[in-house]
Structure 1
Amino acid sequence: MEVDGGGVCKKITIGVCVMEKKVLSAPMGQILDRLKAFGEFEIVHFGDQVILEDPVESWPICDCLIAFFSTGYPLEKAEAYAALRKPFLVNELEPQHLLHDRRKVYELLKMFGVPVPRYAHVNREVAHQDLDYFVEEEDYIEVHGNRFWKPFVEKPVDVVFFEA
């Protein structure tokens, strides 16, 4: 609890600046329930309407900010809010840009010794572009000589643009 100018204890306001689908998830529910159990925090959900449509100057003012990337999330607006209001950041915002590119995520995981699944990158400028390192057959694809038998999971690099 914080003590205000009049010596009165006030709850610490935690702003939850995440998309509603993430706020309603079981893991986020667990985090928020544990914070509420202390009795020292006031939790303020920003909500999709505020996050997506309102200017950051009108967002709720908070002492601490929790902000998680998800598809459709305006990370730049959250960064602008943090720069404007200067809340304590529970999690850093800038590194969340990394989540937009699977290649960067895999590079970072490998750098820290975290196992990643076997994968390959096929980088095309346009759809169905012929590439000298890529071969597709009926039951497999081959990328730089590495064969992947079908079925396999194919995902776009840019999760912001392609995921719904």
Structure 2
Amino acid sequence: MQKITPFLWFEDNAEEAANFYVSVFKNSRVVSISHYGEAGPRPAGTVMTVSFVLDGEEFVALNGGPEFTFSPAISFVVNCTTQEEVDELWAKLSAGGKEVQCGWLEDRYGLSWQIVPTVLTEMLNDADPAKANRVMQAMLQMVKIDIEGLRRAYGNG
């Protein structure tokens, strides 16, 4: 068991969301589902929590009701090594959601994700500030991150 586990509050579709996320990421599975009992506060027998693993990372989803919703102030960063991986995760996670900017998207459940190629961080941390600045300027114009576009900006000098 990992020491820190993200705990996600859903209105009433935690199981649906967990199954969706498990379908998106490789090496993922639903671990367990617990149900509310007679003590409530939700109807007895309805799903209370869903424990699941996404590519080795543990999560818990709660059907907590409408009191709280997600905000972009919290997001999950997914580090990708190829454009194909960026494209695949972007397509799956943004379906029914909203594409934002700079690699950010909001999925159909309102959860924010950053789909980030690892090369972006490497370029932004380059010792040459001109290169890093050009990459930042290029990235700020993108919705989904385009690795080749970053490389062109990085190489222009």
Could you state the TM-score of these two structures normalised by the residue count of structure 2?
Answer: 0.23
Which has the greater radius of gyration? 1
